Amino acid sequence: MAKYEVIIIGGGPAGLTTGLYTSRAGLKSLLMERGIIGGQIINATLVENYPGFPQGISGAELGSLMHQQAVKYGLEVVTAEVTGISQGQPYSLSTTEGDFEASAIIIAAGSEYRKLEVPGEERLSGHGVSYCATCDGFFFRGREVTVVGGGDTAITDALELTRHAKKVYVIHRRDQLRAGQVLQQRALAEPKLEFIWSTVVEEVLGDKILEELKLRNVKTGQHSILKVAAVFVAVGLMPNSRSFFNVVDLDDAGYIVTDEAMATSAPGIFAAGDIRRNSPRQVAAAVGDGVTAAMSAFKYIQEGGNGARITNP
């Protein structure tokens, strides 16, 4: 069984920052990522609110730079999914790439796209149903598409899609947007955008590809059909915490409960980034969490495994 002082679960900004700090501190560190290194940020065409990049930077480039910097200081990275964590010290992790042992664990597994959970969505995923406008928008040049949602991500996606699509419908269950004022102003002034208020998608229709959406007005109950080539779902995120529900305390929404030191209810296990309760879910905040979690893990190991358990969630 491969042994490490720290194992980090998740390769987004929080996990990569954690790995940078633990490795530079001289701790033997391993980062496990089941998918692509960089996390959700790699889907962003332009990140304009990360300090140090006044002209902005693409999410893919930012994630790549974080990765390069972390491995430069000795962080090991493996593609694997954690399937179980034993109770007691040292911790034993079962993964798709075998078993590993660690004195401290930092969970930075992030979140995943929330789905509509309507008929046809799963069947036509990748065939007109998408969760990443940046990834798939160019496939629908000159077509009519729709975005579902009213927050920052949805409106950012809708504006991004106007670069490719002939027209972009924005379907929102409320009668006003939740996005920030700057995004709202841009969206409401964009001639290619059309808003469908107080409406939800009830079904995704089509044989082999998406052809139309069945909609319902939540105020009147009236149904309608919208013919589009694609639907981009942007209705929020869910924490990737299913593997940890019997290891650390979670809140009602599934987020990991931590204190200000990123300590969880289990001694020697910390959490950082989008997966923890009350995270603002911003890349700069995830980086800050990663620093705090790394320093807390270092202190925990230096003190021989004493403390570092949340006492007042």
Rounded average pLDDT per 10-residue block, the chain, 313 residues? 96 98 97 92 81 92 96 97 90 96 96 92 93 87 97 94 97 95 95 98 97 98 98 92 93 95 96 94 94 97 70 42
Nearest to 294 by CA among 105, 110, 109: 105
* Rounded alpha-carbon distances, angstroms, from residue 9 to 49, 82, 112, 194: 25, 8, 15, 41
Rounded Cα distance between 38 and 44, Å, is 11
Residue 299 burial (CB < 10 Å; 0-12/13-18/19+)?
middle
Token digits of residue 2: 């491969």
Q: Please say if 135 is a catalytic residue.
A: yes
∠ CA 196-215-189 to the nearest 5 degrees?
Answer: 15
Of the residues 132, 152, 249, 251, which is catalytic? 132
pTM for the predicted model, two decimal places: 0.76
The H helix count followed by the E strand count for the chain is 6, 17
Element (H, E) at 155: helix 152-161
Q: What pLDDT score does 308 carry?
A: 52
Helix axes 181-188 and 152-161, enclosed angle (nearest 10):
30
Q: What pLDDT score does 309 carry?
A: 53
- Strand locations in 66-150 (E): 76-79, 82-85, 91-95, 98-107, 111-113, 129-130, 144-148
Q: What pLDDT score does 236 carry?
A: 85
Query: If you write DSSP's letter for every residue of 83-100 in order, what string do you get?
Result: EEE-SSSSEEEEETTEEE
In contact, 57 and 46? CB cutoff 8 Å: yes
Of the residues 99, 136, 175, 207, which is catalytic? 136
∠ CA 134-118-161 to the nearest 5 degrees?
Answer: 20
Q: Please say if 252 is a catalytic residue.
A: no
Q: What pLDDT score does 313 carry?
A: 39
Q: What pLDDT score does 312 carry?
A: 42
